[in-house]
């Protein structure tokens, strides 16, 4: 462990003793150990609550809050998982949330990337104004716009006989209203990516006779792939976890989304005062685990997508 | 930094707007139509209605007709000590969490970006807090921080990090720290992911060239990474700050409308939904909007300064 | 182009995984059944007459939240529809109480008719009164069967705006085995006794269980604290916050009992009790970590279930203690049924309410779902008492006190907030004599 091996290097500059130490095995361990310590701390901080949720999901009701605290259940059980999955509104919620979050993400990326192209690669009067208009959408507190949105989706009259469609208690109400917070963020991030791209590839494409739209999806879009992936992921999760609008615009249990469904579980007593904590944790695991597995499985693809952009640039 | 690719002919804009320029502008606005349509429906009507309501005395359930009261609500707001306290509390929370999240997020992004084994797992691990629904995560942390049944107190006393069980949530002196810890845990992945995406587009050969020239890690970080990451940093900071200033869920689950920990958004919701003062609540919403807009102006000015 | 497909794949991946989970679980699923002692839903009296008049109409009922309550509502609604031909669509209300309030308020203020019958909390009649139908003409006679105090609570300005449906009241849970172990022959009758007993038991038990506490209750800054504090103050002769239209909260007896509680926070109660709601309190008790608990009757079935509780057979219930010169009381909780003024089928809705608040259905609810009946005669039924041991006569006849919803009307939430925020400050150390006057003046501005 403590062998100091010095490699003879045929270089013009003399090798300093400090650099030699840093490159040796002991040196590498010493300089990198704060690094590894940081990694361990981050792992524990990020992961421990999830592991605690995992432990709670497998713990029967009478051991969940027993004292002294049990770090591993004495009698692990699958009851919480079966109970969560048996609730039909929870199963429907998984489907509803997937449809809503997926649609919002695709819509945001489509609309947002077009807007980012305009705002990031063209110069015109009003460009800044549009950027800040988008931003202003996210500045209002949700509760402030809740009442107005509720009126809108309940089918209000815009002008004369033109009515807003009655979207209350449907998935469309959520898909439409979630755009209010996914779109500004998507536009801003993709615009910053678009702005950072150099001109040469684009100009070469124009010289080759490409139309602006072709330039958009053949040249620029692949280059900002890291931005698309990132904003898509963040938008999906934000829409997935949204609570207030889903609570206010949906009333039938079969139309619940995941956060509402999870907070609707009631314990065996039937009273709203009893939160069936084991079941809630089991439901959380069911909801979170596929996402984690998907990210792990798609690791290489995301990595390739992200680094390919760097190489090309 | 911002390079615009539209080929501008040499007899450019100063003389007259070329046909090409006008076509480009028209195309740009066309591309913006879907976004602006969304903004019009989903944002402008609700915002307009809120501003209108702030000049009335509308009550949620009252039967008397609503009256126009002009600036009365705003005058009352200026003397509202509860609101002032909520504003300071929110700003305190924002500064602490955005600061920590940025530092931690940058560290994580750098780690994942570097070549070390296990960074794939690290990336997936990093997503976990963000993937759990906020209301569930908040309730989970509430149980974890409980003074009788909580694992934090249990592990802390066992490992002798804590001398005795703390009532993290009940005790006003530790309440803010508790809620900050949860928010940092929850939203650092957001910052880390955005910064990571920004890091990934920095070309690797820049670093190789610097390494050959003998630059140290720190020099590389200061001269290459930071400047090229600056736009991503600023976008991340803006959106994180906006979200932090409007924080609601975590505080609500932990404290409800407890006076010592009220944030602006909680006070706003409590006024509109709890007390039913829609008009006054709308004035509060407008005030919150202006306060947050102030932060945006600060960021933008900073951004413009660094760009030049 | 290829990269764009990659991001689509990234979205598609989790979607496929989730679809897999859902398909697998669909085969596993049956809806949860509620109620341990299921008896059939009662018959509808006068079904033929009702069918003749209103058969074929459709009404919407916003009822209990998903789970056992919703299942019970569905069973009753199905029976009602079969007998009378009135179609009843049952929509569960959100589990969170304030979300439920907002949902109803939004429909009322937009003069909507999207529901006809709704389940409302015992403190909402005052707020919603202008939007509800007066039930006295048609249901006044049936209302006489129900507890007078709750009917008075539901009568606003002479109009009966809601029919009592479930009752609820605060009771004291105590550990019979620990009382015996420390030489007490009976549960405490005064608050001072309770704290003394709690201290002795806590000191003894903490030797083996450091997490043990003497007394747990709902101390968080929320509506539940208004309920608990009302019991403390009313049982000590300090009034019911607002008596006969006058705000009375600022008085020496109230200050005395609040100071007594303040001294015991963190001493015979957990320090965290000032964040406790019903859930934390019952968890402390059923895991064997508390000697005394104040809670609603729902906790009884949890404490008696071996799958959830460590104190099965080791606890009992009684009325809450009282202060010097007072008598035991219990705050009224529970739910009422009301008819929307903007409903297009008011009469059909009223018939549904008549069925749901009839003695037979209250008996059904009490046995299948352990809901406390609001009809005293039903509460005496042996089968009901068997399923609900806290309905023993000596407990069931405790004096009920109601929160001042009647006097605060649409300002109830605001008024209650002043009360519970103030009392929370006292529990956390502020002097009662400085806080009570400010609560008094704020309430006076709201009481009309």
Q: What is the pLDDT of residues A49-92, one digit of tens each?
A: 988 999 999 998 888 888 778 888 888 999 999 999 988 899 99
Residue C11 has pLDDT above 60, yes or no: no
Q: Which run of H or of E encompasses C55?
A: none
Q: Which tops the pLDDT comparison, A208 or A312?
A: A208
- Distance of alpha carbon C232 from its chain centroid, rounded? 18
Residue A2 has pLDDT above 70, yes or no: no
Q: C179 and C302 in one domain?
A: yes
How far is the C-alpha of C99 from the C-alpha of C92, rounded, in Å?
Answer: 12
Q: C112 and C148 in one domain?
A: yes
The CATH number assigned to the domain holding A209 equals 1.10.3720.10
Q: Is B174 on the interface with C (CB under 8 A)?
A: no
Shortest distance between the Cα of C432 and any Cα of chain B, in A, equals 17
Burial of C96 from C-beta contacts in 10 A (0-12 / 13-18 / 19+)? middle
Q: DSSP class of residue A65?
A: T
Which structural domain range is residue C299 located in? 171-328+403-446
Q: C299, A85: Cβ pair inside 8 Å? A: no
Pairing of strands C399-401, C246-247: unpaired
Q: Give phi and psi for A306, each to the nearest 5.
A: -75, -45
Partners of C221 on chain B (C-beta within 8 Å) are 255-259
Q: Is B246 on the interface with A (CB under 8 A)?
A: yes
How far is the C-alpha of C371 from the C-alpha of C388, rounded, in Å?
Answer: 8
Residue A151 has pLDDT above 90, yes or no: no
Shortest distance between the Cα of C321 and any Cα of chain B, in A, equals 25
For residue B303, the model assigns a pLDDT of: 74
Shortest distance between the Cα of C44 and any Cα of chain B, in A, equals 35
Highest mean pLDDT of the ranges A193-202, B76-85, B297-306:
B76-85
Residue C38 belongs to some domain of the structure:
no
Structure-token pair, residue A252: 């039938």
| Global ipTM | 0.82
Nearest beta carbon to residue C272 from set B167, B273, B275: B167
How far is the C-alpha of A290 from the C-alpha of A313, rounded, in Å?
Answer: 33
Q: C365 and C301 in one domain?
A: no
Confirm if C92 and C70 have CB atoms less than 8 A apart: yes
For residue A309, the model assigns a pLDDT of: 43
Q: Is A136 on the interface with C (CB under 8 A)?
A: no
> In DSSP terms, which residues pair with B277 in a beta bridge?
B59
Quickly state the pLDDT bin for B46 (edges 50, 70, 90). Answer: confident
How far is the C-alpha of C36 from the C-alpha of C190, rounded, in Å?
Answer: 36
Quick one: angle between helices B226-245 and A127-139, nearest 10? 40
For residue B11, the model assigns a pLDDT of: 46
Chain C interface mutation, best of B53, B61, B139, highest count of C Cβ atoms under 10 Å: B61
Residue A174 has pLDDT above 50, yes or no: yes
B9-42 confidence digits (pLDDT tens): 444 445 556 787 888 888 889 989 999 988 887 7
Partners of B259 on chain C (C-beta within 8 Å) are 221, 421, 425
Lowest mean pLDDT segment, chosen from A40-44, A80-84, B233-237: A40-44
Q: Which tops the pLDDT comparison, B219 or B100?
A: B100
Q: C87 and C153 in one domain?
A: yes
Residues belonging to chain B: 308
Confirm if C113 and C60 have CB atoms less than 8 A apart: no
Over range C82-100, report the average pLDDT.
91
Quickly state the pLDDT bin for C225 (edges 50, 70, 90). Answer: very high
Q: C381 and C318 in one domain?
A: no
Q: Is C262 on the interface with B (CB under 8 A)?
A: no
Domain count, chain A: 1
Residue A212 belongs to some domain of the structure:
yes
Size of interface A-B (CB pairs under 8 A): 291
Burial of B266 from C-beta contacts in 10 A (0-12 / 13-18 / 19+)? buried
SS3 C397: coil
Mean predicted lDDT score pLDDT of chain C:
89
Q: Is A112 on the interface with B (CB under 8 A)?
A: yes
Q: Which tops the pLDDT comparison, C406 or C160?
A: C160
C25-52 confidence digits (pLDDT tens): 444 443 333 444 568 899 999 889 999 9
Residue A195 belongs to some domain of the structure:
yes
Q: B36, A189: Cβ pair inside 8 Å? A: no
Q: Give phi and psi for C372, each to the nearest 5.
A: -70, 125
Tokens 């820049």 sit on residue = B206
Pairing of strands C58-63, C117-121: parallel
Confirm if B90 and B263 have CB atoms less than 8 A apart: yes
Confirm if C227 and C218 have CB atoms less than 8 A apart: yes
Q: C299 and C206 in one domain?
A: yes
Q: C233 and C134 in one domain?
A: no
For residue B41, the model assigns a pLDDT of: 79
SS3 A245: helix
Q: Which of C59, C100, C114 is nearest to C336 (CA)?
A: C100
B109-130 confidence digits (pLDDT tens): 887 787 667 777 777 777 788 8
Q: C142 and C111 in one domain?
A: yes
For residue A251, the model assigns a pLDDT of: 87
Residue A274 belongs to some domain of the structure:
no
Q: A195, B2: Cβ pair inside 8 Å? A: yes
Residue B224 has pLDDT above 50, yes or no: yes
Please give the share of chain C, as a percent, with pLDDT higher than 70.
91
C163-185 confidence digits (pLDDT tens): 999 999 999 999 999 999 999 99
For residue A5, the model assigns a pLDDT of: 41
Nearest beta carbon to residue A118 from set B32, B204, B296: B32
Lowest mean pLDDT segment, chosen from A22-36, B86-100, C70-84, C207-221: A22-36
Q: C157 and C59 in one domain?
A: yes
Shortest distance between the Cα of B35 and any Cα of chain A, in A, equals 6
Shortest distance between the Cα of B127 and any Cα of chain A, in A, equals 7
Q: C149 and C200 in one domain?
A: no
Structure-token pair, residue C341: 């003024």
Residue C8 has pLDDT above 70, yes or no: no
Q: A243, B27: Cβ pair inside 8 Å? A: no
CA-based diameter of chain A, in Å? 86
Pairing of strands C399-401, C329-339: parallel
Confirm if C169 and C237 have CB atoms less than 8 A apart: no
Residues 262-321 (C) with a CB less than 8 A from some CB of A: 277-279, 282-283, 287-289, 296, 298-299, 301-302, 305-310
Q: Which run of H or of E encompasses C300?
A: helix C299-303
How far is the C-alpha of A73 from the C-alpha of A59, rounded, in Å?
Answer: 5
For residue A208, the model assigns a pLDDT of: 85
Nearest beta carbon to residue B149 from set A50, A67, A258: A67
Which structural domain range is residue A110 located in? 88-264
Residue A77 belongs to some domain of the structure:
no
Q: C415 and C373 in one domain?
A: no
Q: How many CB atoms lie within 10 A of CB B117?
A: 7
For residue A213, the model assigns a pLDDT of: 84
Over range C415-427, report the average pLDDT.
94
Quickly state the pLDDT bin for B4 (edges 50, 70, 90). Answer: very low
Q: Which tops the pLDDT comparison, B147 or C83?
A: C83
Q: Which tops the pLDDT comparison, B306 or C257?
A: C257
Please give the share of chain A, as a percent, with pLDDT higher than 70.
83
Over range A286-308, report the average pLDDT.
66
Mean predicted lDDT score pLDDT of chain B:
85
Size of interface B-C (CB pairs under 8 A): 76
Domain count, chain C: 2
Over range C387-415, report the average pLDDT.
89
Partners of A67 on chain B (C-beta within 8 Å) are 148-149
Nearest beta carbon to residue B62 from set C220, C284, C410: C410
A110-134 confidence digits (pLDDT tens): 999 999 999 988 888 888 888 888 8
Q: Which of B304, B297, B253, B280 is nearest to B82 (CA)?
A: B280
Sorted by where each starts, the structural domains of chain B and their CATH numbers stand as 49-79+277-308 (no CATH), 91-134+170-263 (1.10.3720.10)
The CATH number assigned to the domain holding C228 equals 3.40.190.10
Mean predicted lDDT score pLDDT of chain A:
81
Quickly state the pLDDT bin for A7 (edges 50, 70, 90). Answer: very low
Confirm if C443 and C417 have CB atoms less than 8 A apart: no
For residue A20, the model assigns a pLDDT of: 66
Quickly state the pLDDT bin for A4 (edges 50, 70, 90). Answer: very low
**Integer angstrom CA distances of residue A244 from A99, A260, B45, B274, C409:** 18, 9, 19, 15, 27
3-state secondary structure A203-223: HHHHHCCCCHHHHHHHHHHHH
Checking phi first, is residue B216 left (phi over 0); if not, alpha (psi -120 to 50) or beta? beta
Residue C39 belongs to some domain of the structure:
no
Residue A275 belongs to some domain of the structure:
no
How far is the C-alpha of A168 from the C-alpha of A147, rounded, in Å?
Answer: 13
Residue A28 has pLDDT above 90, yes or no: no
For residue C171, the model assigns a pLDDT of: 95
For residue B114, the model assigns a pLDDT of: 76
Q: C128 and C190 in one domain?
A: no
Over range B49-69, report the average pLDDT.
87
SS3 C255: helix
Over range A30-39, report the average pLDDT.
75
How far is the C-alpha of A272 from the C-alpha of C65, rounded, in Å?
Answer: 8
Q: C6, A233: Cβ pair inside 8 Å? A: no
For residue C1, the model assigns a pLDDT of: 44
Q: Where are the alpha helices (DSSP H) in C64-175?
A: 68-84, 97-109, 125-128, 136-143, 148-153
Chains touching chain C, criterion 3+ CB pairs below 8 Å? A, B
Residue A111 belongs to some domain of the structure:
yes
Q: Is A214 on the interface with C (CB under 8 A)?
A: no
Query: What residue of B is the nearest CA neighbor of A290?
Result: B131
């Amino acid at each position: 462990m403590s062998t100091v091996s010095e490699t003879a290097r045929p270089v013009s500059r003399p090798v300093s003793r400090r650099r030699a130490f840093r490159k040796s095995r002991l040196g590498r361990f010493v300089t990198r150990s704060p690094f590894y310590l940081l990694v361990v701390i981050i792992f524990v901080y990020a992961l421990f609550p999830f592991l605690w949720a995992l432990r709670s999901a497998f713990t029967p009701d009478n051991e969940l809050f027993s004292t002294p605290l049990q770090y591993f259940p004495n009698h692990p059980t699958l009851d919480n998982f079966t109970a969560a999955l048996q609730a039909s509104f929870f199963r429907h919620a998984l489907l509803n949330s997937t449809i809503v979050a997926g649609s919002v993400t695709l819509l945001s990326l489509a609309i947002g990337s077009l807007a980012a192209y305009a705002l990031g690669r063209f110069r015109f009067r009003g460009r800044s104004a549009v950027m800040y208009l988008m931003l202003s959408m996210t500045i209002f507190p949700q509760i402030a716009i809740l009442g107005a949105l509720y009126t809108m989706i309940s089918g209000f009259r815009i002008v004369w006989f033109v009515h807003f469609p009655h979207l209350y208690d449907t998935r469309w109400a959520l898909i439409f209203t979630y755009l209010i917070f996914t779109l500004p963020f998507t536009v801003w991030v993709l615009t910053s990516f678009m702005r950072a791209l150099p001109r040469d590839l684009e100009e070469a494409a124009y010289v080759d006779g490409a139309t602006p739209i072709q330039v958009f999806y053949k040249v620029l879009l692949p280059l900002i792939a890291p931005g698309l992936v990132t904003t898509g992921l963040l938008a999906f999760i934000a829409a997935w976890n949204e609570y207030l609008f889903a609570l206010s615009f949906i009333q039938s249990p079969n139309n619940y989304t995941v956060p509402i469904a999870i907070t609707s579980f009631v314990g065996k007593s039937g009273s709203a005062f009893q939160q069936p904590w084991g079941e809630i944790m089991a439901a959380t695991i069911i909801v979170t685990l596929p996402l984690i597995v998907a990210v792990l499985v798609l690791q290489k693809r995301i990595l390739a997508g992200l680094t390919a952009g760097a190489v090309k640039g | 930094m911002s390079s615009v690719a539209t080929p501008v002919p040499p007899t450019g804009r100063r003389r007259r707007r070329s046909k090409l320029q006008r076509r480009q502008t028209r195309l740009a606005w066309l591309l913006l139509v879907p976004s602006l349509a969304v903004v019009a429906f989903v944002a402008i009507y609700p915002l307009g209605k809120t501003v209108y309501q702030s000049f009335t005395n509308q009550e949620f359930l009252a039967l008397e007709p609503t009256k126009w009261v002009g600036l009365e609500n705003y005058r009352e707001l200026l003397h509202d000590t509860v609101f002032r306290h909520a504003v300071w509390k929110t700003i305190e929370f924002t500064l602490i969490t955005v600061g920590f999240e940025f530092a931690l997020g940058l560290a994580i992004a750098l780690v994942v970006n570097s070549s070390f084994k296990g960074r794939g797992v690290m990336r997936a691990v990093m997503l976990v807090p963000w993937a759990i629904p906020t209301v569930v995560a908040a309730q989970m942390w509430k149980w974890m921080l409980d003074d009788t049944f909580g694992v934090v107190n249990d592990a802390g006393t066992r490992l002798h990090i804590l001398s005795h069980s703390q009532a993290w949530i009940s005790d006003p002196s530790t309440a803010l720290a508790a809620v900050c810890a949860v928010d940092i845990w929850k939203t650092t992945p957001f910052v880390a992911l955005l910064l990571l995406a920004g890091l990934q587009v920095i070309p690797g050969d820049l670093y190789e060239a610097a390494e050959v020239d003998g630059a140290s890690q720190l020099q590389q970080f200061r001269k290459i990474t930071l400047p090229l990451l600056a736009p991503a940093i600023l976008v991340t900071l803006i959106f994180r700050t906006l979200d932090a200033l409007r924080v609601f869920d975590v505080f609500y689950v932990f404290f409800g409308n407890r006076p010592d920990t009220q944030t602006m958004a909680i006070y706003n919701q409590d006024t509109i939904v709890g007390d039913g003062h829609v008009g006054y609540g709308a004035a509060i919403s407008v005030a919150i909007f202006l306060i947050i807009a102030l932060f945006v102006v600060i960021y933008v000015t900073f951004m413009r300064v660094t760009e030049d | 182009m290829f990269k764009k497909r990659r991001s689509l794949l990234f979205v598609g991946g989790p979607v496929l995984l989730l679809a897999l989970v859902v398909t697998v679980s669909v085969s596993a699923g049956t809806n949860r059944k509620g109620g341990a002692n299921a008896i059939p839903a009662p018959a509808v009296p006068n079904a033929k007459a009702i069918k003749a008049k209103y058969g074929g109409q459709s009404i919407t009922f916003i009822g209990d939240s998903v789970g056992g309550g919703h299942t019970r509502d569905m069973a009753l609604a199905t029976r009602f529809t079969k007998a009378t031909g009135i179609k009843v669509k049952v929509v569960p209300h959100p589990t969170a109480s304030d979300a439920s309030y907002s949902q109803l308020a939004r429909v009322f203020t937009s003069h909507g008719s999207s529901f006809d019958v709704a389940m409302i909390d015992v403190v909402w009649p005052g707020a919603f009164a202008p939007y509800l139908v007066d039930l006295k003409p048609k249901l006044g006679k049936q209302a006489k069967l129900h507890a007078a105090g709750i009917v008075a609570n539901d009568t606003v300005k002479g109009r009966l705006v809601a029919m009592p449906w479930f009752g609820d009241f605060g009771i004291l849970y105590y550990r019979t085995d620990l009382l015996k172990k420390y030489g007490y022959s009976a549960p405490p009758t005064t608050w001072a006794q309770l704290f003394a007993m709690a201290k002795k038991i806590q000191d003894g038990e903490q030797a083996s269980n450091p997490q043990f506490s003497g007394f747990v209750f709902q101390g968080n800054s929320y509506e539940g604290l208004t309920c608990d504090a009302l019991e403390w103050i009313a049982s000590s002769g300090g009034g019911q916050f607002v008596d006969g239209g006058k705000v009375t909260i600022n008085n020496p007896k109230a200050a005395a009992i609040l100071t007594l509680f303040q001294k015991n926070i963190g001493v015979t109660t957990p320090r965290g009790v000032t964040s406790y709601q019903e859930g934390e309190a019952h968890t402390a008790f059923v895991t064997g970590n508390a000697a005394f608990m104040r809670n609603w009757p729902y906790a009884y079935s949890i404490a008696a279930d071996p799958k959830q509780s460590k104190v099965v057979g080791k606890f009992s219930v009684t009325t809450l203690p009282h202060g010097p010169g007072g008598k035991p009381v219990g705050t009224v909780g529970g739910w009422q049924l009301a008819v929307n003024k903007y409903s297009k089928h008011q009469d059909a809705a009223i018939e549904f309410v008549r069925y749901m608040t009839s003695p037979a259905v209250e008996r059904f609810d009490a046995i299948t779902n352990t809901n406390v009946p609001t009809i005293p005669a039903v509460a005496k039924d042996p089968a009901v008492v068997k399923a609900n041991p806290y309905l023993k006569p000596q407990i069931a006849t405790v004096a009920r006190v109601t929160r001042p919803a009647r006097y605060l009307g649409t300002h109830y939430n605001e008024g209650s907030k002043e009360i519970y925020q103030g009392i929370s400050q006292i529990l956390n150390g502020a002097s009662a004599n400085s806080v009570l006057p400010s609560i008094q003046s704020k309430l006076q501005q709201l009481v009309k």
